[in-house]
Amino acid sequence: MKGFDFYKQAFLDYLLKEKNYSINTIIAYGEDLDQFKDFLNLFKLSIENVQRDDVRMFISYLSRKEFEKNTVARKISALKSFFSFLKNRRFIEKNPAALVSSPKRGKVLPSFLTEEEIRKLFDSLPQAIDFKTARDKAIIELFYATGLRVSELSNLKMRDIDMQNQLVRVLGKGGKERIVPFGIPAKEALEKYFRFRRKYLKKKKNLSEEYVFLNVRDGKHITDRGIKFIVSQMLKKISSMKKLSVHSLRHTFATHLLNKGADLRAIQELLGHASLSTTQRYTHLSIDKLIDIYRNSHPDEQ
């Protein structure tokens, strides 16, 4: 009989090597499975003997811990994939989670910045006078110009950026590649940052560094966490009311494009969404825009 950790590692290896899941997704799945392991240990259950009622009890267990419905639904989705893998590899005979219903996910509209708030954000940035300030400005400009995920921006390499044609090559979820254009402000911010970057790496004797965005301390590849911290500090300066995060810039990019008349399928391509339904949530964000258009255009409102 194999242990839980063996099954977990086999599953995570499968996600990485065969399904090409991102590292962040694999880490999240691993954390969800660790929580299920704690549940099994608490009730002295083994993975081979888990029944459907045990999975339902796990849902109740999570709910009592006051996890939000979306979080519980995500954990159950991970569990279903895990048991499906075990069944397909014949480690178990039945998938006990197959017919278990997950809590209905609540509709959470993503936070975003208005055009006025974006202008305020860029006005609040310090002048790009050294490696750090130039890097931080380039990060913000490129985020808003492209709508990249934080992991995509963190993992950009110098060869991925075509400065002449103002294009960036992105390796997204599932190893899918896409090309995203960027505008003049982002180009100018990158050009200034690259000048400081070359001088900095020359000083560090590390001119072979391939990643675009680097740490100030050692000139090494900056992590997702590092970028999130930089962006969150900047966002705090412009809004204490909204719950803003690094992901808000991605939502802002999509919302502003939609408000300016961009085609939804074009936005889907730029964001790297596998399904149009994922992109369609931005139509909810533009309801205020639609109301303004109606009131300004409909004869009964004149």
Tokens of 144: 């808003």
Residue tagged active-site, from 8, 80, 137, 149:
149
Distance separating alpha carbons of residues 89 and 111, to the nearest angstrom = 41
Confirm whether 251 is a catalytic residue.
Answer: no
Distance separating alpha carbons of residues 90 and 266, to the nearest angstrom = 42
Tokens of 280: 């369609």
Distance separating alpha carbons of residues 150 and 141, to the nearest angstrom = 13
Residue tagged active-site, from 74, 132, 247, 281:
247
Residue tagged active-site, from 37, 52, 120, 173:
173
Confirm whether 282 is a catalytic residue.
Answer: yes
Cβ-contact 143, 153 below 8 angstroms: yes
Confirm whether 298 is a catalytic residue.
Answer: no
Residue tagged active-site, from 282, 284, 289, 294:
282
Confirm whether 221 is a catalytic residue.
Answer: no
Confirm whether 273 is a catalytic residue.
Answer: yes
Residue tagged active-site, from 135, 187, 197, 273:
273
With 0-12 CB in 10 A as exposed, 13-18 as middle and 19+ as buried, what is 224?
middle
Confirm whether 294 is a catalytic residue.
Answer: no
Distance separating alpha carbons of residues 184 and 161, to the nearest angstrom = 14
Q: How far is CA 171 from the centre of its chain?
A: 13
Residue tagged active-site, from 80, 137, 187, 250:
250
Residues designated catalytic: 149, 173, 247, 250, 273, 282
